[in-house]
């Protein structure tokens, strides 16, 4: 049986880890190595892009992508994990709708954000979550993230629905904490659904089937691509210099990473370094 290779858009359900969510995928006949491209917290659900077979090595090009979420903030209590599974550590009055609406603009654009103590961020060579579970208080330094949009979608105190579009590396749990503080309260993220990763949407998920790495996938990643002649494919497979192969092929789009196709078949990923195209990953 041929090994399955490609991309699957999985709708992860709340209550299981991202790693455990792959168990169902691994049972697909012919599926070998699989890996997800961006962890969702156990309490969260939504879009989880999964790569299989040879496509697993494309994970670097699936990282650092913009994302979109819908979530629910519970005001009045902050937990140690900043999610519903944590222990309450701070309590405060429920803020007014006016206070929340005035705080929202503070969290759009470029902001500095401290990740949760219970996270995979490394502090002193160890994961912050390991230190926190050991009773230590890791120093969580603020990091730059970008919030493209943030809006209130519902208001039923103490719960507030939010929708946001953000850069990779954004912690929505931290955003819930900081939004509550800015509104004069305390809070945590009670629910979260990831609805988009780059050009992939949750509405496209459903069914355990892998799609090939084709031009639509590359364009959803926001990457340019080349189309080369079929007689040049062997040159790439054997690692010959890229510049002579690509010089006659105008890229579709711009960027320092690009895909290479021939007759609509995916051949390789290439990267521009010091103005010269170099090999990233040959798919064959």
Active site residues: 41
The C-alpha angle with vertex 45 and arms to 44 and 47, in degrees rounded to 5, equals 130
Cα separation of 127 and 81, whole Å?
Answer: 14
Going by their DSSP bridges, the two strands 187-197 and 88-91 should be labelled as unpaired
Q: Mark out the alpha helices in the chain (DSSP H runs).
A: 18-26, 59-62, 97-103, 128-133, 172-182, 215-220, 233-237, 242-246
Q: What values do phi and psi take at 250, rounded to 5?
A: -75, 130
Cα separation of 251 and 264, whole Å?
Answer: 14
The C-alpha angle with vertex 101 and arms to 182 and 39, in degrees rounded to 5, equals 70
């Amino acid at each position: 049986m041929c090994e399955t290779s490609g991309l699957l858009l999985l709708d992860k359900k709340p209550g299981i880890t991202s790693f455990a969510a792959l168990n169902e995928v691994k049972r697909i006949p012919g599926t070998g190595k699989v890996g997800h491209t961006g962890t969702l917290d156990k309490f969260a659900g939504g879009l989880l892009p999964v790569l299989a077979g040879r496509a697993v090595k494309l994970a670097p090009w699936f990282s650092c992508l913009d994302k979109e979420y819908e979530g629910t903030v519970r005001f009045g209590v902050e937990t140690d994990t900043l999610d519903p599974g944590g222990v309450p550590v701070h309590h405060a009055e429920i803020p007014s709708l006016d206070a929340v609406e005035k705080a929202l603009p503070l969290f759009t654009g470029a902001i500095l954000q401290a990740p949760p103590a219970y996270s995979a961020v490394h502090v002193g060579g160890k994961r912050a979550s390991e230190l926190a579970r050991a009773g230590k208080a890791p120093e969580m330094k603020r990091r730059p993230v970008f919030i493209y949009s943030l809006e209130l979608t519902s208001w039923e105190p103490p719960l507030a629905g939010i929708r946001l579009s953000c850069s990779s590396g954004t912690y929505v749990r931290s955003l819930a904490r900081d939004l509550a503080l800015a509104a004069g309260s305390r809070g945590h993220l009670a629910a979260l659904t990831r609805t988009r990763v780059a050009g992939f949407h949750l509405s496209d998920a459903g069914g355990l089937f892998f799609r090939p790495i084709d031009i639509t996938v590359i364009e959803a990643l926001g990457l340019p691509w080349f189309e080369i002649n079929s007689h040049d494919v062997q040159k790439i497979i054997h690692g010959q210099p890229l510049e002579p192969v690509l010089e006659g092929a105008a890229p579709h789009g711009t960027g320092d990473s690009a895909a290479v196709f021939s007759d609509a078949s995916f051949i390789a990923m290439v990267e521009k370094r010091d103005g010269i195209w170099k090999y990233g990953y040959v798919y064959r």
